[in-house]
Homo-oligomer: A and B are copies of this chain.
Amino acid sequence: MHKEIITLKNKPRILSSASVVGKKEREGPLGAYFDLTEDDIKFGQKTYEAAESECQRLALNMALHKAGLRHDELSVVISGDLINQCTSSTYGLIDLDVPYLGIFGACSTCAEGLLIGSMLIDGGYFYRAGIATSSHFCTAERQFRTPIEYGGQRTPTAQWTVTGSGAFILGQGEECLPYIDEVLPGKVFDKGIKDAANMGAAMAPAAADTLLRFFSQSDMKPSDFNLIVTGDLGVEGLSITRELTKLDGLVLGPEYDDCGCLVYDRQKQDVHAGGSGCGCSAVVTAGYIMDRFKNGGYKNVLLLGTGALMSPMTIQQGNSIAAVAHLVHIKAD
């Protein structure tokens, strides 16, 4: 078998990151790590969709500001979101006047963006890249499940879509900054889960596959990492991932966690299985994990962006939920 892990030779660095979230996320355990929080669920806009666009615009602007850069110093923006046709990204970033590459990996979009962006920076194809992604509880809920006003009861495996956006600026930079050392793109898995309120179970096989492929080809073991974190499996998907990897001999210890479990207090915040959405792994990585690299002594983190590649139509037509998990190894010297 040829080696699938892609090692980046020129240490593409995360020059800055920024996270913008709503009220519920601010009230969660990681609230203090986010750069900007907004009580207005509409972010001052007319629609939830425009709110999500605004959220993404704010996050990218703030990341640029933190890096001391202007828009026109970006070579490219790589961006995507959950809303049909990547609406939030397109309309949020429209005034940038910067080349734009749209991507779609459902909730794995943050990791997919870091993966593609880091390779293109590493190879010198772009000098600096902005990576941005977002989700919004109200846009996702009404697109994928039921109208907000319906107020349907949520099942125990349901997750709560994070309202928030995370953005990163990648480029060559100072040696003290974290960099992307390795990436491993995910394969698509479909194990027959049809319940749009149980995405953790649908995504766990993809996460397990990517983790197993990584550790079978890497010299590192799970305990070498400060954190191995999946994007938004929630408690249900997290425990399935532990079991699936264990069946193949990969035991994940206390270093393994999930952004969807970290972002909310599941006991107090009524979020059932945890957080989800493109914004989930994006704000936890841009806010919390990047802070831990700066102030918490983190040296090695494995981020596994997990995405349930369903659409409202595939659910209506009775298809099961396909999923993917992209891996990014973030490192500091």
CB proximity of A328 to chain B, nearest CB, Å: 13
Q: Judging by beta carbons under 8 Å apart, are A84 and B47 in contact? A: no
Known: A91-B314, A187-B97. A309 touches B49 (CB 8 A): no
Q: Judging by beta carbons under 8 Å apart, are A87 and B313 in contact? A: yes
Distance A93 CA – B309 CA, assembled complex (angstroms): 12
In the complex, A301 has a CB within 8 A of chain B: no
Known: A99-B186, A125-B119. A104 touches B83 (CB 8 A): no
In the complex, A54 has a CB within 8 A of chain B: no
CB proximity of A12 to chain B, nearest CB, Å: 12
Q: Judging by beta carbons under 8 Å apart, are A188 and B104 in contact? A: no
Per the CB 8 Å criterion, the residue count for chain A at the interface is: 57
In the complex, A324 has a CB within 8 A of chain B: yes
In the complex, A291 has a CB within 8 A of chain B: no
Distance A86 CA – B319 CA, assembled complex (angstroms): 14
What 0/1 readout, one digit per residue, does chain A (281-325) give for beta carbons within 8 Å of chain B? 000000000000000000000000000011111100101001010
Number of copies of this kind of chain in the complex: 2
What 0/1 readout, one digit per residue, does chain A (36-49) give for beta carbons within 8 Å of chain B? 00000000000101
In the complex, A234 has a CB within 8 A of chain B: no
What 0/1 readout, one digit per residue, does chain A (111-125) give for beta carbons within 8 Å of chain B? 010011001101111
In the complex, A269 has a CB within 8 A of chain B: no
Q: Judging by beta carbons under 8 Å apart, are B120 and A319 in contact? A: no
Name A residues whose Cβ lies closer than 8 Å to a Cβ of B: 2, 4, 6, 47, 49-50, 75-76, 80, 82-87, 90-91, 93-94, 96-106, 112, 115-116, 119-120, 122-127, 184-188, 190, 309-314, 317, 319, 322, 324
Q: Judging by beta carbons under 8 Å apart, are B103 and A104 in contact? A: yes
**A103 contact set on B, CB distance < 8 A:** 101-104
**A47 contact set on B, CB distance < 8 A:** 317
Distance A284 CA – B116 CA, assembled complex (angstroms): 27
**A313 contact set on B, CB distance < 8 A:** 49, 83-84, 87
Q: Judging by beta carbons under 8 Å apart, are B322 and A90 in contact? A: yes
Q: Which of B100, B126, B187 contacts A186 (CB 8 A)?
A: B100
Known: A90-B322, A123-B125. A312 touches B84 (CB 8 A): yes
Shortest 8 CB-CB contacts between residues of A and residues of B: A123-B123, A85-B311, A99-B185, A102-B104, A84-B84, A90-B309, A84-B311, A104-B104
Q: Judging by beta carbons under 8 Å apart, are B190 and A100 in contact? A: no
Q: Judging by beta carbons under 8 Å apart, are B97 and A309 in contact? A: no
Closest B residue to A105 using CB positions:
B102
Distance A112 CA – B100 CA, assembled complex (angstroms): 10
Closest B residue to A317 using CB positions:
B47
**A96 contact set on B, CB distance < 8 A:** 187-188
Besides A85-B311, A87-B313, 18 other A-B contacts (C-beta < 8 A): A6-B125, A76-B185, A82-B85, A83-B313, A84-B85, A84-B312, A85-B106, A94-B190, A98-B187, A99-B187, A100-B186, A100-B324, A101-B185, A102-B103, A102-B105, A102-B309, A104-B104, A119-B123
